[in-house]
Homo-oligomer: A and B are copies of this chain.
Amino acid sequence: MSRLLQDVVGEFSKLPGVGRRTALRLAMHLLRMDRESVAEMTQSIDRFRNEVKYCTRCNNLSDEEVCPICADPERDHTTICVVEQVVDVLSIENTHQYRGLYHVLGGVISPMQGISPSDLKIDLLCERIEAGGVREVILAISTSVEGETTLFYLMNRLRHYPDLKITAIARGIGFGDELEYVDELTIAQALRNRREIE
Protein backbone atom coordinates (compact mmCIF):
# COMPACT_ATOMS: atom_id res chain seq x y z
CA MET A 1 0.00 0.00 0.00
CA SER A 2 1.14 3.55 -0.74
CA ARG A 3 2.92 4.98 2.32
CA LEU A 4 1.02 8.26 1.95
CA LEU A 5 -2.27 6.35 1.98
CA GLN A 6 -1.11 4.23 4.90
CA ASP A 7 -0.22 7.37 6.86
CA VAL A 8 -3.54 9.10 6.30
CA VAL A 9 -5.50 5.93 7.09
CA GLY A 10 -3.47 5.59 10.30
CA GLU A 11 -4.25 9.19 11.27
CA PHE A 12 -7.99 8.87 10.54
CA SER A 13 -8.09 5.61 12.52
CA LYS A 14 -7.03 7.52 15.64
CA LEU A 15 -10.33 9.43 15.61
CA PRO A 16 -13.11 8.07 17.86
CA GLY A 17 -15.53 5.73 16.09
CA VAL A 18 -13.35 5.50 12.98
CA GLY A 19 -12.14 2.00 12.13
CA ARG A 20 -9.71 1.02 9.38
CA ARG A 21 -12.44 0.58 6.81
CA THR A 22 -14.03 3.97 7.51
CA ALA A 23 -10.56 5.55 7.50
CA LEU A 24 -9.94 4.10 4.04
CA ARG A 25 -13.27 5.41 2.78
CA LEU A 26 -12.46 8.86 4.17
CA ALA A 27 -9.05 8.78 2.46
CA MET A 28 -10.66 7.84 -0.86
CA HIS A 29 -13.16 10.64 -0.40
CA LEU A 30 -10.25 13.11 -0.09
CA LEU A 31 -9.19 12.20 -3.64
CA ARG A 32 -12.65 13.11 -4.91
CA MET A 33 -12.50 16.51 -3.17
CA ASP A 34 -10.54 19.22 -4.97
CA ARG A 35 -7.23 20.22 -3.38
CA GLU A 36 -8.51 23.62 -2.26
CA SER A 37 -11.37 22.03 -0.31
CA VAL A 38 -8.99 19.63 1.42
CA ALA A 39 -6.65 22.53 2.26
CA GLU A 40 -9.59 24.51 3.65
CA MET A 41 -10.53 21.53 5.83
CA THR A 42 -7.05 20.98 7.25
CA GLN A 43 -6.54 24.72 7.82
CA SER A 44 -9.86 24.85 9.66
CA ILE A 45 -8.77 21.92 11.86
CA ASP A 46 -5.38 23.50 12.62
CA ARG A 47 -6.89 26.92 13.30
CA PHE A 48 -9.49 25.41 15.63
CA ARG A 49 -6.90 23.41 17.57
CA ASN A 50 -4.42 26.27 17.87
CA GLU A 51 -6.59 29.35 18.20
CA VAL A 52 -9.74 28.38 20.07
CA LYS A 53 -9.81 29.70 23.63
CA TYR A 54 -11.78 28.94 26.75
CA CYS A 55 -13.93 31.79 28.01
CA THR A 56 -12.21 33.18 31.11
CA ARG A 57 -15.61 33.51 32.81
CA CYS A 58 -17.62 30.39 31.95
CA ASN A 59 -14.98 28.05 30.44
CA ASN A 60 -17.04 27.58 27.26
CA LEU A 61 -15.18 27.42 23.93
CA SER A 62 -14.69 30.90 22.56
CA ASP A 63 -12.86 32.85 19.87
CA GLU A 64 -12.26 35.71 22.33
CA GLU A 65 -11.26 36.01 26.00
CA VAL A 66 -14.94 36.28 26.88
CA CYS A 67 -17.51 34.22 24.96
CA PRO A 68 -20.49 35.85 23.16
CA ILE A 69 -22.95 34.50 25.75
CA CYS A 70 -21.08 36.01 28.73
CA ALA A 71 -20.57 39.23 26.77
CA ASP A 72 -24.24 39.54 25.81
CA PRO A 73 -25.97 42.21 27.96
CA GLU A 74 -29.37 40.89 26.78
CA ARG A 75 -28.86 37.59 28.63
CA ASP A 76 -29.91 37.11 32.23
CA HIS A 77 -26.67 37.50 34.20
CA THR A 78 -28.30 36.52 37.48
CA THR A 79 -28.67 32.84 36.47
CA ILE A 80 -25.85 30.38 35.78
CA CYS A 81 -26.50 26.92 34.36
CA VAL A 82 -23.67 24.51 35.31
CA VAL A 83 -22.92 21.79 32.72
CA GLU A 84 -20.27 19.13 32.29
CA GLN A 85 -19.05 19.91 28.81
CA VAL A 86 -19.15 22.30 25.86
CA VAL A 87 -21.62 20.21 23.85
CA ASP A 88 -24.13 20.47 26.71
CA VAL A 89 -24.18 24.25 26.21
CA LEU A 90 -25.03 23.67 22.54
CA SER A 91 -27.80 21.20 23.46
CA ILE A 92 -29.41 23.68 25.85
CA GLU A 93 -28.94 26.63 23.45
CA ASN A 94 -30.73 24.58 20.77
CA THR A 95 -33.87 24.50 22.94
CA HIS A 96 -34.07 28.35 22.75
CA GLN A 97 -35.64 28.18 26.23
CA TYR A 98 -32.78 29.45 28.36
CA ARG A 99 -31.59 33.06 28.49
CA GLY A 100 -29.15 32.89 31.42
CA LEU A 101 -25.40 32.24 31.45
CA TYR A 102 -23.46 28.97 31.61
CA HIS A 103 -20.57 27.45 33.47
CA VAL A 104 -18.68 24.55 31.87
CA LEU A 105 -17.04 22.30 34.48
CA GLY A 106 -14.96 20.44 31.90
CA GLY A 107 -15.95 16.99 33.16
CA VAL A 108 -17.26 15.24 36.24
CA ILE A 109 -15.56 13.99 39.39
CA SER A 110 -14.29 10.48 38.71
CA PRO A 111 -11.86 8.83 41.14
CA MET A 112 -11.61 5.90 38.69
CA GLN A 113 -10.27 8.20 35.96
CA GLY A 114 -8.31 10.28 38.46
CA ILE A 115 -10.49 13.37 38.00
CA SER A 116 -10.75 15.23 41.31
CA PRO A 117 -12.76 18.42 42.04
CA SER A 118 -9.59 20.51 41.55
CA ASP A 119 -9.42 19.33 37.92
CA LEU A 120 -12.79 20.93 37.23
CA LYS A 121 -13.58 24.65 36.98
CA ILE A 122 -15.36 24.72 40.35
CA ASP A 123 -13.19 27.41 41.92
CA LEU A 124 -13.92 29.63 38.92
CA LEU A 125 -17.66 29.10 39.50
CA CYS A 126 -17.29 30.13 43.17
CA GLU A 127 -15.35 33.24 42.12
CA ARG A 128 -18.20 34.23 39.79
CA ILE A 129 -20.73 33.81 42.58
CA GLU A 130 -18.55 35.74 45.03
CA ALA A 131 -18.23 38.57 42.51
CA GLY A 132 -21.94 39.12 43.14
CA GLY A 133 -25.08 39.45 41.06
CA VAL A 134 -25.80 35.73 40.73
CA ARG A 135 -29.16 34.72 42.20
CA GLU A 136 -29.64 31.16 40.91
CA VAL A 137 -27.35 28.30 39.93
CA ILE A 138 -29.00 25.52 37.91
CA LEU A 139 -27.13 22.21 38.07
CA ALA A 140 -27.57 20.42 34.73
CA ILE A 141 -25.32 17.44 35.37
CA SER A 142 -25.95 13.97 33.92
CA THR A 143 -27.39 11.19 36.09
CA SER A 144 -24.38 8.88 36.01
CA VAL A 145 -22.67 7.80 39.24
CA GLU A 146 -19.92 10.35 38.57
CA GLY A 147 -22.58 12.96 37.78
CA GLU A 148 -24.34 12.35 41.09
CA THR A 149 -21.03 12.57 42.95
CA THR A 150 -20.30 15.89 41.26
CA LEU A 151 -23.81 17.16 42.03
CA PHE A 152 -23.39 16.25 45.70
CA TYR A 153 -19.97 17.93 45.87
CA LEU A 154 -21.26 21.11 44.17
CA MET A 155 -24.29 21.29 46.48
CA ASN A 156 -21.98 21.13 49.47
CA ARG A 157 -19.75 23.90 48.10
CA LEU A 158 -22.62 26.17 47.03
CA ARG A 159 -24.53 25.79 50.30
CA HIS A 160 -22.11 28.31 51.83
CA TYR A 161 -23.61 31.16 49.81
CA PRO A 162 -26.63 32.10 51.93
CA ASP A 163 -28.71 34.01 49.35
CA LEU A 164 -28.01 31.68 46.43
CA LYS A 165 -30.86 29.57 45.05
CA ILE A 166 -29.56 26.16 43.93
CA THR A 167 -31.71 24.11 41.56
CA ALA A 168 -31.21 20.95 39.52
CA ILE A 169 -32.85 20.12 36.19
CA ALA A 170 -35.84 17.80 36.66
CA ARG A 171 -35.29 14.07 36.52
CA GLY A 172 -38.16 12.36 34.76
CA ILE A 173 -39.40 10.53 31.71
CA GLY A 174 -38.07 11.94 28.44
CA PHE A 175 -40.40 13.10 25.71
CA GLY A 176 -41.30 10.09 23.55
CA ASP A 177 -39.90 7.58 26.07
CA GLU A 178 -42.03 4.53 26.74
CA LEU A 179 -42.50 3.70 30.41
CA GLU A 180 -41.84 0.04 29.64
CA TYR A 181 -38.22 0.77 28.74
CA VAL A 182 -37.41 3.38 31.39
CA ASP A 183 -35.33 2.19 34.37
CA GLU A 184 -36.91 1.92 37.84
CA LEU A 185 -34.80 4.68 39.40
CA THR A 186 -35.99 7.21 36.85
CA ILE A 187 -39.62 6.12 37.18
CA ALA A 188 -39.41 6.33 40.98
CA GLN A 189 -37.94 9.84 40.78
CA ALA A 190 -40.51 10.92 38.18
CA LEU A 191 -43.25 9.68 40.52
CA ARG A 192 -41.79 11.56 43.50
CA ASN A 193 -41.45 14.72 41.41
CA ARG A 194 -45.02 14.53 40.10
CA ARG A 195 -46.85 17.84 39.82
CA GLU A 196 -50.49 18.77 39.82
CA ILE A 197 -52.03 19.33 36.43
CA GLU A 198 -53.87 22.62 36.29
Q: What residues of chain A have their CB less than 8 Å away from a CB belonging to chain B?
A: 1-5, 7-8, 10-12, 14-17, 22, 24-31, 33, 35, 37-52, 60-63, 67, 85-87, 90, 93
Contact A4 B38 (CB under 8 A): no
A68 to chain B, nearest CB (A): 8
A51 to B38, CA, bound (A): 13
State in angstroms the CA–CA spacing of A46 and B38 once bound together: 7
Name the contact of A14 in the complex, choosing from B14, B41, B45, B93 (C-beta under 8 A): B41
Q: Return the 8 tightest CB-CB contacts between A and B, nearest first.
A: A42-B42, A8-B48, A11-B41, A38-B49, A2-B61, A11-B44, A4-B48, A7-B44
16 contacts between A and B (CB under 8 A): A3-B63, A4-B48, A7-B44, A7-B48, A8-B44, A8-B47, A8-B48, A10-B44, A11-B45, A16-B25, A17-B22, A24-B87, A28-B86, A30-B49, A39-B46, A42-B42
- In whole angstroms, what is the CA distance A45 to B40 when docked? 11
| Residue contact A4 to B63, C-beta cutoff 8 Å | yes
Question: Within the complex, which residue of B5, B47, B63, B67 is in contact with A52, where a contact is CB–CB below 8 Å?
Answer: B5
Beyond A4-B48, A7-B48, 6 extra complex contacts between A and B, CB < 8 Å = A2-B61, A14-B41, A15-B29, A17-B22, A27-B48, A31-B49
Chain B residues closer than 8 Å to A25, beta-carbon distance: 16-17, 87
Chain B, residue nearest A49 (CB): B38
**Neighbour of A2 across the interface among B5, B11, B63, CB < 8 A:** B63
Q: Determine whether the beta carbon of A48 is less than 8 Å from that of B30.
A: yes
